[in-house]
Structure 1
Amino acid sequence: MTLYQQFSQVLDEQQLMHGKIIVGFSGGVDSRVLLRLAARYSKQHSKACLAVHVHHGLSDNADEWQAQCERWAQEEAVEFACERVTLSQGSGESLEQSARQARYQALGQHIQSGDILLTGQHLDDQAETMLLALKRGSGPKGLSSMASSMDFGLGKLVRPLLNTARQDIELYAQHEQLQWVEDESNTDTRFDRNFLRQTVLPVLNQRWPSFAQAASRSARLCAKQERLLKELLLPELEVCLGEFLGLNISTMSSHSILKREQLLRLWLEANTSLMPTEVQLRNIWQEVALAKQDANPEMNLAGGAIRRAQGHLYWVEAHEDVSDWQQSWPDNDTLVLPDNLGVLKLVSPSKDAKVTLDRQTLSGSLKVIFNPEGLSAHPHGRAGSRKLKKLFQELKIPSWQRRRIPILMQGDKVVAVGNLFVDKAFYGSDCELVWDK
């Protein structure tokens, strides 16, 4: 089977209907071959094709590479786009990891529903990825290395060359008389992947010529084991989930340590891309789940934190502090809240309306804030006024959510709080305050 036949078989399996083909196009030999294959496939099947080049600015040759990639895309009659990214330094990540994350984020901006993103990783890349996972001490999930296809944004990420050796890709490029860029950083063995490629894998392949194929087979077996484990444990995870997808600590306590840690991993997998280490998993349970009852424990992980409230563990995404935010609000408008917290609007009351107001009481200028400090309210239907802090505690609002609930104010008086309650002085049946999250 030729390389193009293998490529076509992979893409045919994706059953691409109305979406387009997007090629992650660095200009190296792998992506250059990928572009040629994708261009040929798109012409034969009348599919739109887009080559996206990510300009990291790490090399003095970066501008020249961009120009060459654009020229090659034109030669293939493929639409071209370039994304310039700036890598964050000092974040604790390696330069390789930072560049990879920036690259996929940039590529993801071009993916719409039904699209497939093609990247040029091959059989030798898979072996390198598995060795890097071994170096990190990864478990079966990490040793699964790269999937041949996976959901990505609104579409899918597909690696059609994953079972093709680097040597075969280079032979194809030479046969097609293709040109490509040579990134000088690829010979820099200070980078782990380059060290493996230049120093370790040649020795392994000389001793065991089928090493890359064997590593790929092991990765597939690990991936199958992970999928089976997930299939078996998902129903048990559902039993442990409470309101707002929190993990019930009491239910989790009934499981063995082994199962509990796997359930924690499965739960976190839906929330963050970087899995916790063994030590972090133990600490999540010992220092957060089993902390003293009057404590407010927290453990920070990549992209968020683990918190505890009302006997449950919660994943809280990293977010902006909106405590000082405030905005005047003409009540005939929809108010867009900061940090993706939704919108506020006043509408005609619905059948099950909870927060309804008397428009005649809304005589002064209104504003919306998030800081409850020092404020009091007398919720309609309850006796007496209380501090918002106490009301939040009574309503069992987790501490980390209390400064992310919009508070409607008239002067220095609380009118209503989110979708929780309306103050007695402003209660009526004329309109409903809706917090659409």
Structure 2
Amino acid sequence: MSLTLDQALERFQPALPLAVALSGGADSCALLVACARRWPGQVRALHVHHGLQPAADGFQAHCEALCRSLDLPLHTLHVDARHAAGESPEDAARRARYAALAAAAHEAGCAMVALAQHADDQAETLLLALSRGAGLAGLAGMRPDWTAGGMRFARPLLDVPGAALREFLRSQAIAWVEDPSNQDVRFTRNRIRARLTPALDQAFPGFRDTFARSARHAAQAQALLEEFGALDLAAAGAPPRLQALRALGRARQANLLRHWLRSVHGTQASEAQMEELLDQVQACTTRGHAIRLKVGLGFVTRDGERLAYTASV
């Protein structure tokens, strides 16, 4: 069910003082203004300057002007968001941004960072996951809250349509800046926003609510898989014993191995890599059967009666 901005903040119970990530775009401007009014004296603004495009200085200037008008402190963070060879530019920028936000929020004495992703962003995330053939973790969409770098993050606007945030700013005569990169249809998310979202609005006007409900169902199922993965890994050992793995069904083996790779080694296997690894585990019934399979940035190998993972140097 879609919410208004006021309704979303009524449900939001942040740890205070609260930091709000402010890009200068409409969504984060609306969140900052609404939070500052709801929790006066308890809100700080954090702006990440990526330096990836000429317009970045203009974003910073707008954030500074907005915070002056609200009498709010602004902490500007300059980060190096350049991506390594073979790395997604969006993923590199995201990791750099979250690390910088966590560090700055700690320095500012804040207990939580609020982010302004909304219902349209959640729908786009689900469509993006579908386009990539994602599993449950991807279909769960964006989490409403989590902890990273020792800092709590929250997305209180996931049930609020983006149009409602812009309407709020217009009603308050508050300006925002448009990121020119959002018009670049070379990026899949931008193509979804420009071409698919308008078509969905015409064909299924309530798609934001139904997509969000599907994402919540996927998140619940993913949480169960993670719980079973942790229980099975505890029983099989970390690293897992081959005999204990083979005692499980193939789907449960895959879930255990995904949990082990993700939780212990911070990596994940592609679908093809996982299928090959499962085949190797099933075939590994003699002492002489070796395993050496590329997964992520390292290799899964056999070490006696257990599996092992070694990251590439």
Give the Å deviation of 1:315: 4.0
2:199 to 189, 198, 203: 203
Instruction: Check the 8 A contact 2:273/2:295 in 1, yes or no.
Output: no
Per the alignment, residue 87 of structure 1 pairs with 81
Per the alignment, residue 183 of structure 1 pairs with 179
2:269 to 272, 276, 296: 276
Give the Å deviation of 1:236: 2.4
Q: Indicate yes or no: 2:19 matched with 1:25.
A: no
Letter in structure 1 aligned against 2:155? R
TM-score when scaled to structure 1?
Answer: 0.65
Per the alignment, residue 254 of structure 2 pairs with 261
Letter in structure 2 aligned against 1:269? R
Query: Deviation string for 1:351-386 (max 9, x for gaps)?
Result: xxxxxxxxxxxxxxxxxxxxxxxxxxxxxxxxxxxx
CA distance in 1, matches of 2:31, 2:312: 37
Per the alignment, residue 294 of structure 2 pairs with 299
TM-score when scaled to structure 2?
Answer: 0.88
Identify the structure with the greater helix proportion. Answer: 2
Give the Å deviation of 1:90: 4.7
Question: For 1:60-99, what aligned pairs fall within 5 Å after superposition?
Answer: 60-99=54-93
Query: What SS does the corresponding residue of 2:116 show, helix, strand or coil?
Result: coil
Residues 276 and 155 of structure 1, relative CA distance in 2, 3 Å threshold: same
Give the Å deviation of 1:271: 3.6
Instruction: Check the 8 A contact 2:46/2:76 in 1, yes or no.
Output: yes
Per the alignment, residue 400 of structure 1 pairs with none
Query: What SS does the corresponding residue of 2:39 show, helix, strand or coil?
Result: helix
Q: Indicate yes or no: 2:36 matched with 1:39.
A: yes
Give the Å deviation of 1:272: 5.4
CA distance in 2, matches of 1:292, 1:160: 54
Give the Å deviation of 1:94: 2.9
Query: Deviation string for 1:311-359 (max 9, x for gaps)?
Result: 222344566xxxxxxxxxxxxxxxxxxxxxxxxxxxxxxxxxxxxxxxx
1:54 to 45, 48, 52: 48
CA distance in 2, matches of 1:202, 1:275: 34
Give the length in aligned residue pairs: 307
Instruction: Check the 8 A contact 2:299/2:310 in 1, yes or no.
Output: yes
Q: Indicate yes or no: 2:311 matched with 1:309.
A: no
Give the Å deviation of 1:237: 2.3
Instruction: Check the 8 A contact 1:22/1:116 in 2, yes or no.
Output: yes
CA distance in 2, matches of 1:2, 1:265: 38
CA distance in 1, matches of 2:91, 2:199: 26
Give the Å deviation of 1:53: 1.2
CA distance in 2, matches of 1:318, 1:108: 28
Letter in structure 1 aligned against 2:19? I
- More relative contact order, 1 or 2 (CA 8 Å, 6+ apart): 2
Q: Indicate yes or no: 2:173 matched with 1:171.
A: no
Identity between Structure 1 and Structure 2 (%): 32
Give the Å deviation of 1:40: 1.9
Letter in structure 1 aligned against 2:8? Q
Identify the structure with the greater strand proportion. Answer: 1
Unaligned runs of 5+ in 1: 320-437
CA distance in 2, matches of 1:211, 1:37: 26
Letter in structure 2 aligned against 1:247? P
Residues 232 and 300 of structure 1, relative CA distance in 2, 3 Å threshold: closer
Per the alignment, residue 3 of structure 1 pairs with 5
Per the alignment, residue 153 of structure 1 pairs with 149
Give the Å deviation of 1:235: 2.3
Query: What SS does the corresponding residue of 1:173 show, helix, strand or coil?
Result: helix
Query: What SS does the corresponding residue of 1:251 show, helix, strand or coil?
Result: helix
Per the alignment, residue 115 of structure 1 pairs with 111
CA distance in 2, matches of 1:229, 1:100: 26
- Structure showing greater radius of gyration is 1
Residues 306 and 52 of structure 1, relative CA distance in 2, 3 Å threshold: farther
CA distance in 1, matches of 2:197, 2:128: 12
The root-mean-square deviation of aligned C-alpha atoms, in Å, is: 2.5
Q: Indicate yes or no: 2:113 matched with 1:124.
A: no
Give the Å deviation of 1:152: 2.1
Give the Å deviation of 1:215: 0.8
